[in-house]
């Protein structure tokens, strides 16, 4: 960046890095050059001709989106000629635009509206008839209205270049040109809806948001998606306490504007008609609605009684609840209930990696690192399906920086197409296969290794040893499944570890029962399950146990419970979550569901009923305690509070863990599956691709498997 280029724009001397495009350089100088087809990060089109500017010594107007700045260039963006060109271009665009702004979903946030308002003519001279083409539905989530389309080709590029799907193309020619889906009349794709968000006009509209409301009528709440572990920021459009849409047009958060189908459309589980809105208490063998006071009193009394007689508790935490709730839960279990029998569904071996990395500083990669790393190695994960945002980052990295991507998986994955080298290896045998990459990997400047659930226990240690032997800086991403899987591990929702990977023995406790042992124990007196559905796969062995379940829906586990407490979803509460790369981000409450309480409050109220004090159940108070007492979580508060992602630095020493690789398994979710929440999302289950494919193989849903077992 040493040699900046000096050029003149609108009479101002401005400097920019060489080869910067004029449109970007002008933006840096605070001068707006309007454009539709130019989109940062995607290929250049020069199709909309809105960015025409006057450059001295060139006879014609030039497009700013493809012209790099050169030394001594003299540019005018404010001349009458430029203004006339912009006005003319907009007039031409509007000749076939239906101007149905009052009903168009984009009205109020439409780039064409803004441009015409700023640069266009007040009246049109077009008096001929406009072409009309009926609106078409391409999938449950994507609708296309051809007359509104201005053919900027952003959708085509985001689908092809951004997602690597390439489901959209251009058909026909001339004024009949239109965007066409990959299956003729319908789409078969990731259904991520990126095309809809990136559309500057209302040509592509969203199945969930269509004709619901208008942008200025909603509250825009920036929070974190509650599905997978990638931790994408999503901005919920909330009206009357109900979520009407989710997108991230302001490009805030780690993911920029990326969201997958779950993030953009999966929110509808939140107001599913089957949401629990009142506590249920089992009376005469049947669950019946009860008041919160009754339900809490029942739970408090029973827990206090079991505790008093020294009975056996089991506590199962969640992959979806916040860090605060997880921290509070393990406190509740260890102090209020006095048990170490606490665990959660482990979907990746984070603890072993932290242990194996002792002495390695900064060996955990962040999501931003995936965009800048010169090389990455994917082991045992269909990244585009299971971790779509991480895949997006790697793809953008390849596109912009020609990153070398290596992959060892059990089947074909989307990354094969641009990867430098790929290899097929059965699950569990990846580490043998990786040796054949050694030569290539060692040539890279640095490397990020992303590994799935097949690398667990000893394999993690071997992988780290392999990484050390390459002689280059290597960082790791242990792939986990859900929005706060990583946080549950970090917060010590484990039988053998306290928050921050301290051994329980340090606190004078003995390790308790693990997940499988809790379920298979025959002598449990009480089981407390927070937003988890363990009985879907394994029934509880202790038939006489008193079961308390906090959840959004009446799941298989809740059906067996003695008391069911309606919990709030992640979109209804504040707090923090930690994503797959260990970055802490803040949740903001957007929606409301009558009758539901946050898990934090429920735990606080139960402890109050039991007459035990384990601290204030306010999320910021708990987070302050987390920052103080959990190693690595002393994150920069301003970053978190302003919606940023603060990387954590977990302990850099040995972790006194008990190796239990058998407990670690991913739920094998695809883009269209996400445990309980996904089942209750109508949009996710309605798309053609549901439940999707992993490694090119169709995936069975939990329900299908259950049905198959029953018949």
Partner 1 sequence: MLYNEPSPLEVKVVTRRFGKPDSEKIDTYLADEGYEAFKKTLTLTPEAIIDELKASSLRGRGGAGFPTGLKWSFVPRNTGKPAYIICNSDESEPGTCKDRLLMENDPHQLIEGMLIAGWTVRSPAGYIFIRGEYRYLIDIVDRAVAEAYERGFLGKNILGSGWDHDIYTHTGAGAYECGEESALLESLEGKRGIPRLKPPFPAVVGAFQCPTILNNCETFSAIPAIFRQGAEWFASLGPPKNGGTRMMCVSGHVNKPGVYELPLGFPLMRLINEVCGGMRNGKKLKAVIPGGSSSPCLRAEECDIGLDFDSIAKAKSMAGSGGIVVLDEDTDIVGLALRTIKFYQHESCGWCIPCREGTTWLKKILERYHGGGGREKDIDLIHEIAKGMFGRTFCALGDAAAMPTYTFIEKFRDEFEAYLQKSRPKQIPELALL
Partner 2 sequence: MPPARSHGRFPGFVTLLRYTGRMAKLGEVLDSAVAIARGMTVTFKEMLNPPITEEYPDAPPIFEERFRGAHVLERDENGLEKCVACFLCAAACPVQCIYIEAAENTDQVRISGGERYAQVYNIDYNRCIFCGYCVEACPTDAITHGHGFELASADTSALVMRKEDMLRPLGAA
Q: Which residues are near partner 1 by CB under 8 A?
A: 44, 46-50, 52, 59-61, 66, 84-85, 88-89, 92-93, 95-96, 125-129, 150-151, 169-170, 172-177
Q: For residues 240 and 229, give the distance between their C-alpha atoms in angstroms, rounded to a whole number.
A: 28
The first and second tokens of residue 81, run together, are 């000629």
Q: What residue 102 binds from partner 2, partner 1, none (CB within 5 to 8 A, per partner kind)? A: partner 2
Dihedral of CA 384/388/394/396: which sign?
A: positive
Q: Least distance to partner 1 from the beta carbon of 123, Å? A: 10
> Binding to partner 2 (CB under 8 A): which residues in 191-210?
210
Question: Residue 137 or residue 335: which is nearer to partner 2 going by CB?
Answer: 137
Q: Least distance to partner 2 from the beta carbon of 239, Å? A: 9
Assess contact for 531 and 321: CB atoms under 8 A.
Answer: yes
Helices (H), 22-144: 22-28, 80-95, 111-119
Q: Least distance to partner 2 from the beta carbon of 52, Å? A: 31
> Binding to partner 2 (CB under 8 A): which residues in 334-363?
none
Assess contact for 707 and 423: CB atoms under 8 A.
Answer: no
Question: Residue 35 or residue 299: which is nearer to partner 1 going by CB?
Answer: 35
Q: Least distance to partner 2 from the beta carbon of 211, Å? A: 4
Helices (H), 148-193: 154-157
Count how many Cα atoms sit within 13 Å of the Cα of residue 571 in the half-sphere of its side chain: 30
Closest alpha carbon to 584 in 625, 629, 636: 636
Paired strand residues for 12: 9
Question: Residue 109 or residue 659: which is nearer to partner 2 going by CB?
Answer: 109
| 214 interacts with partner 2 by CB under 8 A | yes
On the question of a cis peptide bond just before residue 416, with omega within 30 degrees of 0, the verdict is no
Q: For residues 340 and 498, give the distance between their C-alpha atoms in angstroms, rounded to a whole number.
A: 10
Q: What residue 92 binds from partner 2, partner 1, none (CB within 5 to 8 A, per partner kind)? A: partner 1
Q: What residue 212 binds from partner 2, partner 1, none (CB within 5 to 8 A, per partner kind)? A: partner 2
Q: Least distance to partner 2 from the beta carbon of 102, Å? A: 4
Binding pattern for the stretch 123-142 against partner 2, x by CB under 8 A and - elsewhere: ------------x-------
Q: What residue 285 binds from partner 1, partner 2, none (CB within 5 to 8 A, per partner kind)? A: none
Question: Residue 120 or residue 678: which is nearer to partner 2 going by CB?
Answer: 120
Distances (CA, A) of 61 to 31, 78, 83, 86, 430: 17, 12, 11, 11, 57
Q: Least distance to partner 2 from the beta carbon of 116, Å? A: 15
Strands (E), 375-464: 375-379, 404-409, 421-424, 447-451
Assess contact for 501 and 633: CB atoms under 8 A.
Answer: no
Looking at 123, 125, 128, 216, which residue binds partner 2 (CB under 8 A)? 216
Q: Tokens 């060109």 sit at which residue?
A: 85
Total binding residues for partner 2 by CB under 8 A? 13
Question: Residue 66 or residue 665: which is nearer to partner 1 going by CB?
Answer: 66
Q: What residue 175 binds from partner 1, partner 2, none (CB within 5 to 8 A, per partner kind)? A: partner 1
Question: Residue 23 or residue 580: which is nearer to partner 1 going by CB?
Answer: 23
Q: Least distance to partner 1 from the beta carbon of 131, Å? A: 8
| 11 interacts with partner 2 by CB under 8 A | no
| 3 interacts with partner 2 by CB under 8 A | no
> Binding to partner 2 (CB under 8 A): which residues in 74-113?
100-103, 107
Assess contact for 377 and 407: CB atoms under 8 A.
Answer: yes
Assess contact for 87 and 119: CB atoms under 8 A.
Answer: yes
Q: Least distance to partner 1 from the beta carbon of 427, Å? A: 39
Q: What residue 150 binds from partner 2, partner 1, none (CB within 5 to 8 A, per partner kind)? A: partner 1
Looking at 185, 211, 273, 698, which residue binds partner 2 (CB under 8 A)? 211
Q: Tokens 């991403």 sit at which residue?
A: 477
Give residue 390's Cα distance to chain centre.
9
Phi-psi category of residue 492: left, alpha or beta, with phi > 0 → left and psi -120 to 50 → alpha: left
Q: Tokens 């008093």 sit at which residue?
A: 308
Q: What residue 336 binds from partner 1, partner 2, none (CB within 5 to 8 A, per partner kind)? A: none
| 8 interacts with partner 2 by CB under 8 A | no
Q: Tokens 């009480």 sit at which residue?
A: 526
Looking at 212, 372, 446, 629, which residue binds partner 2 (CB under 8 A)? 212
**Distant-in-sequence, close-in-space partners of 59: CB < 8 Å, separation ≥ 6:** none
Assess contact for 540 and 515: CB atoms under 8 A.
Answer: no
Looking at 32, 40, 56, 217, which residue binds partner 2 (CB under 8 A)? 217
Q: For residues 415 and 463, give the distance between their C-alpha atoms in angstroms, rounded to a whole number.
A: 21
Phi-psi category of residue 42: left, alpha or beta, with phi > 0 → left and psi -120 to 50 → alpha: beta
| 629 interacts with partner 2 by CB under 8 A | no
Q: Least distance to partner 2 from the beta carbon of 372, Å? A: 43
Question: Residue 242 or residue 257: which is nearer to partner 2 going by CB?
Answer: 242
Piece of the chain touching partner 2 by CB under 8 A; list 214-222, 327-335, 447-455, 587-595: 214-222
Q: For residues 481 and 234, give the distance between their C-alpha atoms in angstroms, rounded to a whole number.
A: 18
Q: For residues 369 and 372, give the distance between their C-alpha atoms in angstroms, rounded to a whole number.
A: 5
Q: What residue 521 binds from partner 2, partner 1, none (CB within 5 to 8 A, per partner kind)? A: none
Q: Least distance to partner 1 from the beta carbon of 177, Å? A: 3
| 592 interacts with partner 2 by CB under 8 A | no
Q: For residues 139 and 183, give the distance between their C-alpha atoms in angstroms, rounded to a whole number.
A: 11
| 213 interacts with partner 2 by CB under 8 A | yes
Counts of helices then strands in the chain (DSSP H, E): 24, 32
Residues lying near partner 2 in the complex (CB under 8 A): 100-103, 107, 135, 210-214, 216-217
């Amino acid at each position: 960046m040493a040699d900046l280029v000096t050029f003149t724009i609108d009479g101002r001397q401005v400097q920019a890095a060489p080869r910067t495009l004029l449109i970007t350089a002008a933006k840096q100088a605070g001068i707006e050059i309007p454009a539709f087809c130019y989109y940062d990060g995607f290929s250049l089109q020069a199709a909309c001709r809105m960015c025409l500017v006057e450059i001295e010594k060139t006879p014609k107007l030039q497009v700013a989106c493809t012209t790099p700045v050169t030394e001594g260039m003299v540019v005018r963006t404010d001349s009458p000629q430029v203004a006339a060109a912009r006005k003319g271009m907009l007039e031409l665009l509007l000749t076939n635009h239906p101007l149905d702004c009052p009903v168009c979903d984009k009205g109020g946030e439409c780039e064409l509206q803004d441009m015409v308002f700023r640069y266009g003519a007040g009246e049109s001279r077009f008096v001929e008839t406009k072409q009309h083409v009926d609106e078409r539905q391409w999938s449950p989530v994507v609708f296309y209205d051809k007359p509104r389309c201005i053919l900027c080709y952003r959708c085509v590029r985001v689908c092809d270049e951004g997602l690597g799907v390439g489901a959209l193309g251009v058909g026909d020619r001339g004024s009949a040109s239109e965007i066409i889906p990959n299956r003729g009349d319908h789409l078969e794709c990731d259904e991520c809806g990126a095309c809809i968000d990136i559309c500057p006009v209302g040509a592509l509209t969203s199945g969930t948001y269509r004709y619901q409301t208008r942008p200025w009528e909603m509250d825009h709440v920036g929070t974190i998606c509650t599905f997978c572990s990638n931790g994408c920021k999503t901005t919920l459009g909330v009206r009357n306490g109900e979520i009407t849409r989710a997108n991230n047009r302001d490009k805030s958060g780690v993911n920029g504007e990326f969201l997958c189908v779950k993030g953009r459309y999966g929110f509808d589980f939140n107001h599913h008609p089957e949401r629990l809105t009142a506590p249920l208490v089992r009376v005469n063998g049947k669950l019946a609605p009860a008041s919160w006071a009754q339900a809490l009193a029942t739970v408090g009394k029973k827990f206090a009684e079991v505790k008093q007689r020294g009975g056996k508790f089991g506590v199962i935490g969640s992959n979806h609840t916040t860090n605060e709730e997880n921290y509070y839960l393990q406190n509740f279990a260890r102090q209020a209930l006095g048990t170490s029998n606490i665990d959660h569904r482990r979907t990746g071996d984070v603890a072993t990696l932290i242990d194996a990395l002792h002495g390695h500083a900064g060996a955990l990669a962040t999501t931003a690192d995936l965009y800048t790393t010169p090389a990455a190695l994917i082991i045992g994960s269909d990244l585009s399906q299971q971790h779509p945002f991480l895949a997006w980052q790697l793809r953008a990295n390849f596109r912009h920086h020609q990153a070398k991507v290596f992959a060892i998986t059990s089947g074909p994955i989307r990354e094969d197409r641009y990867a430098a080298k790929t290899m097929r290896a059965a699950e569990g045998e990846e580490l043998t296969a990786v040796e054949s990459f050694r030569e290539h990997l060692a040539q890279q400047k640095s490397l990020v290794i992303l590994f799935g659930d097949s690398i667990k226990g000893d394999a993690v240690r071997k992988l780290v040893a392999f990484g050390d032997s390459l002689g280059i800086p290597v960082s790791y991403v242990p792939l986990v499944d859900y929005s706060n899987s990583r946080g549950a591990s970090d917060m010590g929702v484990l039988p053998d570890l306290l928050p921050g990977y301290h051994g329980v023995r340090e606190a004078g406790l003995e390790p308790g029962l693990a997940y499988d042992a809790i379920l298979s124990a025959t002598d449990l007196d009480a089981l407390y399950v927070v937003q988890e559905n363990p009985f879907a796969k394994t029934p509880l062995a202790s038939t006489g146990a008193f079961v308390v379940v906090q959840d959004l829906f009446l799941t298989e586990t809740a059906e067996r419970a003695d008391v069911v407490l309606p919990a709030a979803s992640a979109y209804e509460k504040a707090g923090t979550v930690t994503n797959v790369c260990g970055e802490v981000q803040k949740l903001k409450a957007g929606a409301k569901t009558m009758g539901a309480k946050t898990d934090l409050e429920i735990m606080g109220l139960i402890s109050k009923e039991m007459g035990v004090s384990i601290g204030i159940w306010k999320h910021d108070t708990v987070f302050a305690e987390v920052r103080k007492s959990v190693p690595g979580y002393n994150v920069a508060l301003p970053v978190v509070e302003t919606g940023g992602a603060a990387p954590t630095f977990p302990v850099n020493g040995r972790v006194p863990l008990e190796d239990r690789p058998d407990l670690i398994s991913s739920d094998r979710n695809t883009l269209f599956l996400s445990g309980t929440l996904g089942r209750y999302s109508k949009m996710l289950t309605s798309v053609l691709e549901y439940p999707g494919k992993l490694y090119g193989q169709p995936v069975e849903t939990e329900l299908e498997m259950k049905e198959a077992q029953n018949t």
